[in-house]
Chains A and B, each alone.
Chain A
Amino acid sequence: MSTHEGRDHWQEWIKNQLQEVEVLPRKEYLEESMKVLLATLHEERRKVRFRKRIRRTLEGMAVAAAAVAIIYVAPQLNNLLQGDGSTALDQGPAGQPGEKISIMGETAKETEDSSAVKLENKMFHIQLPASPLKVGSEFEVTGEVKQGPEADSQGQLRYEVEDGHNILASGTLPSVGEGTGWQPFVLKVKLEQKPTSPNGLLILYTNQAGQRSNELTIPLQFVEQQGSPDAAVKHDVSAPLPPAEEAYPAQSVRVLDRHEEDQAFSSYFKLLHKAVQERDVAALKKAMSPEIYLSFGGQKGYRDLEEMWKLKTNPEASPIWSELEKALKYGAKKDGEYFRAPAIELPAGTDEYRARAIVGSNVNVRSAPSMDGKVIEQVSNLLVRMPKDLTKYDKPGWKAVILPSGKPGYVAAEYVVEPLGYRAVFGKVDGKWTMITWIAGD
């Protein structure tokens, strides 16, 4: 036998030996695993749907804006150019004010008031004073819904408010009159938790045996919530605790502040801190890259940030300050050539959609979202799990958590860091440190 044949023969033997090895997972493991994976899959699908809707809505808004320009500007332009009004462009896309422009199954209709927008599909008509609709923690939307036998077959009428990360409110549409055809309705929405992003969507849809259709998406912009978190919840001891549920094993989170290791970064970081403390917009602008990457809907650059966070119109009240304070308070961790904030390191493999970090020493975990709640446990730098139904349990200023023991409790929001909350990345542009990313969500 040649060496070659010997080697082949040997390799074949290895192959056979290996392929006969079977290591079997436990049956219960497979079942449990499948449950968790399916839940994650549903969550992922929901996110994809949400991103698609956002994209579609933004595209729709752009198309509507362009169409409005054609409707109003083109005829006038023609008059100016030709004087008699009978022009080739009249036969083109331009029409009379009030004409409908169809956008991917949904229609945006221009109304008398040029800033007002009407959104509609075959089930819903919505009239908005402006788009995106600026809303607080409670708001109203008026519109019309199609009634009649054909509409009935579409199923239940429902709504949902999302901020790209959480469902902030959901429910059925209020009942309307008995008649057929278009019936008016007033939808009153109360957000059950604080938005984690300045933008969101109100989605009206029909639900037939779990199947969603006739979705009409309404872009929202969340304006600052009224009242301070502390004042709102001081005496809310009656709020229910989430049920005990599966918990993470006790694992520590680490605060890895390394901002002082790089002298240039350290000076930059201190200036940024000062800018935030003093609510100094000019200094903040200097500390951010003009091309800063922002989450959600494709906004990018300092100008979009300025717009999203109202730094131009009402800088004092902008929610960006408290978000920045929260992100920067633990310093910054080094990550290759970048620094990142918050400087919290979670255990490897943490599910960032379900995890929360309680950061601090001897932080009180209470039985209710209030300073009057009984202290159940004191914990330090600990990884905990979010309860399954967050919208029900998180309260302004308080975060619901499931402790490693499986016990539920509330922690003051200032001690809680969420992996998908607002975070900053710092990098060097032209040799100078600057904030290159400011994002939340995934």
Chain B
Amino acid sequence: MDDERLVERIKQGDDDAFRELYHKYVHQVFRYVYLQVGDYQRTEELTQDIFMKVVKGLVRFRGQSRFQTWLFTIVRNCLTDELRTYKKKRLTMTVPQEDLIRMDDRFDTVEDRVLREEAREELIRHLQKLSDDYRVVILLVDLEGFSLREAAEILNRSEKATKSLHYRAMRQLRQVVEGGMNVEYS
């Protein structure tokens, strides 16, 4: 069932529709928030705050944008203050092994897997070194798969400005990655 139909059913009093919508997006939001704040407990609190705002806002959601875009607008608003407050803390954080669960242990040898995991952790650490704007646009476009137009809507910028921001963000991430650890990415 598509999101808009689910929202309609939630408004009409269907709790199962809400459960479905929540489970559809909670992992995605959780991962996104974690990659922004780097603190598991805080991620739990913020994710809860975000969904609380979703619940309170659902009655006003009129379906002018895609539900997912609307959801991430809420996510962005919730994270803006958080990022401002916890900037220092985030820059020095490391990602604990047990927080990350990787999905690519299908065909690889153990050695391959370890190498990939290390590369990914390194990448996440590098992401934290970017400015908030840069990291956010990369996570929206490259992690969550939003189009530049949708990312622009979430970020409240023009599409052109978002495209340019994404370009600059990618360029800087590349500089950080290549200038830092020797990461194998090809």
Contacts and interface: CB of A to CB of B under 8 A. Distances in A.
B24 to A, nearest CB: 13
Contact of B48 (A7, A20, A33): A33
B182 interface: no
A23 B101 contact: yes
Nearest to A38: B15
A30 interface: yes
Given A34-B19, A349-B45, A25 B10 contact: no
B123 A34 contact: no
A23 B186 contact: no
Contact of A41 (B48, B55, B123, B124): B55
A25 B120 contact: no
A17 B174 CA distance: 14
B100 A13 contact: no
Interface residues of B, number: 49
B111 interface: no
Contacts of A15: 142-143
A12 to B, nearest CB: 9
A24 interface: yes
B30 A41 contact: no
Contacts of A21: 31, 35, 100, 102, 120, 124, 143
Interface string B45-64: 10111011001101100000
A14 B173 contact: yes
B2 to A, nearest CB: 20
A14 B138 contact: yes
A65 interface: no
Contact of A23 (B34, B138, B185): B34
A23 B55 CA distance: 23
A34 B15 CA distance: 10
Given A17-B123, A20-B120, A21-B100, A34 B143 contact: no
B22 A17 contact: no
A40 B43 CA distance: 20
A209 B73 CA distance: 38
Contact of A349 (B44, B49, B102, B116): B49
Query: Chain A contact residues: over half helix, strand or loop, or mixed?
Result: helix
Given A25-B27, A37-B18, A17 B10 contact: no
A9 B174 CA distance: 12
A72 interface: no
Interface in B20-35: 22-23, 26-27, 30-31, 34-35
Given A18-B123, A45-B13, A25 B174 contact: no
B155 interface: no
B25 to A, nearest CB: 12
B110 interface: no
A213 B142 CA distance: 49
Given A15-B142, A17-B123, A23 B59 contact: no
A216 B11 CA distance: 22
Contacts of A41: 10, 15, 18, 55, 58
Contacts of B19: 34
A413 to B, nearest CB: 27
A11 B166 CA distance: 11
Interface string A330-372: 0000000000000000001101000000000000000000000
Contacts of A40: 52, 55-56
A30 B26 contact: yes
A24 B101 contact: yes
B44 A29 contact: yes
A10 B145 CA distance: 16
From B52, B104, B120, B174, residue with most partner A Cβ within 10 Å: B52
Contacts of A26: 44
A397 to B, nearest CB: 31
Contacts of B45: 349
A22 B120 contact: no
A299 B124 CA distance: 53
B170 interface: yes
Contacts of B138: 14, 18
Given A13-B185, A41-B10, A349-B45, A20 B173 contact: no
11 contacts: A10-B170, A14-B170, A20-B102, A20-B103, A20-B104, A25-B27, A25-B30, A34-B19, A38-B18, A44-B56, A45-B11
Interface of B: 10-11, 13, 15, 18-19, 22-23, 26-27, 30-31, 34-35, 40, 43-45, 47-49, 51-52, 55-56, 58-59, 81, 99-104, 116, 119-120, 123-124, 138-139, 142-143, 145, 170, 173-174, 185-186
Given A11-B170, A37-B55, 14 more contacts: A7-B170, A10-B174, A15-B143, A18-B142, A21-B143, A23-B30, A25-B30, A25-B47, A30-B23, A33-B48, A37-B48, A37-B52, A40-B55, A48-B59
